[in-house]
């Protein structure tokens, strides 16, 4: 009696494997395409939020920019550009004029960043103090960068302290204050990011620094879109 063979012919086995391979490849391509669509949607969503914040900042402060000598960049940084208005030379105490500016500025600024629609769009709000490369007389024997680092840190901290003592901050609810505690940071950057006459970073442009333009305070929003895009580029 002839026994039945349970072996699959070689050609049929290869055909079956090819079908399985094509099925897996198709499923993988569908998954990759869906992931790309999801990433594009996330990036677009956060970029639109970034643009909306930028437009709101410009609209709210359009009548103040000239009087306050303030600039708004599309990276969501607000720059106070007149060093004589900010602090006495070599000091970290705010001038009375800068206090007046910050009091009005902060109330309007909070009205924007405190909106619920931006709660998950903002990752950080950086208060940055910048100095020029001038040698500080109060630190004759210390590394000049470190001496300016201390000064710039004290200045950014002074801005933070002043804003937290304003009524606009005190009126916030506990949840909003907790959110701001998470967002706001005070950063002294010494003269590491000086500007040239065109207000471009000297490190990138290679031009001579403009000492007056380099002495400044910036308040910059870092959005979660920046973090999302950075993470996508890192993959």
| Comparison of pLDDT for 212 and 142, the residue scoring more | 212
Per 3-state DSSP, the chain is made up of helix, strand and coil in percentages (nearest 5) of: 55, 15, 30
Domain-located, residue 33: no
Closest CA to 162 of 111, 212, 217: 217
Residue at token pair 């490369």? 133
Q: Kindly give, in sequence order, each residue whose CB lies less than 8 Å from that of residue 73, ignoring residues fewer than 6 positions away.
A: 79
Domain-located, residue 164: yes
DSSP-derived 3-state class of residue 195: strand
Q: What is the pLDDT, as a whole number, of residue 203?
A: 93
Residue 171 has pLDDT above 80, yes or no: yes
Domain-located, residue 193: yes
What CATH number did the domain enclosing 109 receive?
Answer: 3.30.1330.60
Segments forming the whole domain that contains residue 204: 45-234
Tell me how far apart the alpha carbons of residues 57 and 139 are, in angstroms, rounded to a whole number.
Answer: 39
DSSP-derived 3-state class of residue 42: helix
- Banded pLDDT at 56 (limits 50, 70, 90): very high
Q: What is the pLDDT, as a whole number, of residue 19?
A: 75
Closest CA to 154 of 81, 217, 208: 217
**Beta pairing class for 122-130 and 216-223:** antiparallel
pTM for this predicted structure? 0.77
Containing H/E element for 111? helix 96-113
Domain-located, residue 96: yes
Domain-located, residue 223: yes
Q: How many domains does the chain have?
A: 1
Domain-located, residue 7: no
Tell me how far apart the alpha carbons of residues 225 and 42 are, in angstroms, rounded to a whole number.
Answer: 8
Q: What is the pLDDT, as a whole number, of residue 22?
A: 77
Average the pLDDT over each of 29-43, 68-82, 181-195, 199-213 and give the range with the smallest value: 29-43
Domain-located, residue 28: no
Residues 96 and 88 sit within 8 Å (Cβ to Cβ): no
Tell me how far apart the alpha carbons of residues 80 and 86 are, in angstroms, rounded to a whole number.
Answer: 8
41 is written with which tokens?
């949607």
Tell me how far apart the alpha carbons of residues 36 and 33 are, in angstroms, rounded to a whole number.
Answer: 5
Domain-located, residue 23: no
């Amino acid at each position: 009696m002839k026994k039945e063979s349970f072996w699959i012919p070689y050609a049929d086995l290869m055909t079956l494997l090819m079908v399985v391979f094509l099925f897996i490849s198709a499923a993988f391509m569908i998954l990759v395409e869906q992931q790309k669509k999801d990433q594009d949607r996330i990036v677009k969503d956060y970029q639109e939020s970034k643009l909306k914040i930028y437009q709101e900042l410009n609209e709210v402060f359009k009548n103040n920019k000239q009087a306050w000598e303030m600039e708004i960049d599309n990276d969501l940084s607000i720059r106070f550009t007149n060093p004589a208005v900010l602090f006495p030379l070599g000091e970290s105490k705010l001038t009375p004029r800068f206090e007046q500016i910050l009091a009005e500025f902060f109330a309007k600024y909070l009205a924007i960043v405190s909106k619920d629609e931006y709660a998950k769009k903002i990752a950080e709000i950086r208060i940055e103090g910048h100095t020029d490369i001038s040698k500080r007389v109060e630190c004759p024997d210390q590394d000049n960068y470190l001496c300016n680092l201390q000064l710039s840190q004290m200045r950014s901290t002074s801005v933070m302290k002043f804003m937290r003592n304003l009524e606009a901050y005190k009126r916030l609810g506990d949840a909003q204050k907790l959110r701001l505690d998470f967002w706001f940071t005070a950063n002294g950057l010494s003269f590491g990011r000086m500007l040239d006459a065109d207000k471009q970073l000297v490190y990138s442009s290679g031009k001579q620094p403009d000492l007056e333009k380099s002495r400044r305070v910036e308040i910059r929003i870092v959005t979660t879109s920046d973090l999302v895009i950075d993470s996508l580029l890192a993959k």
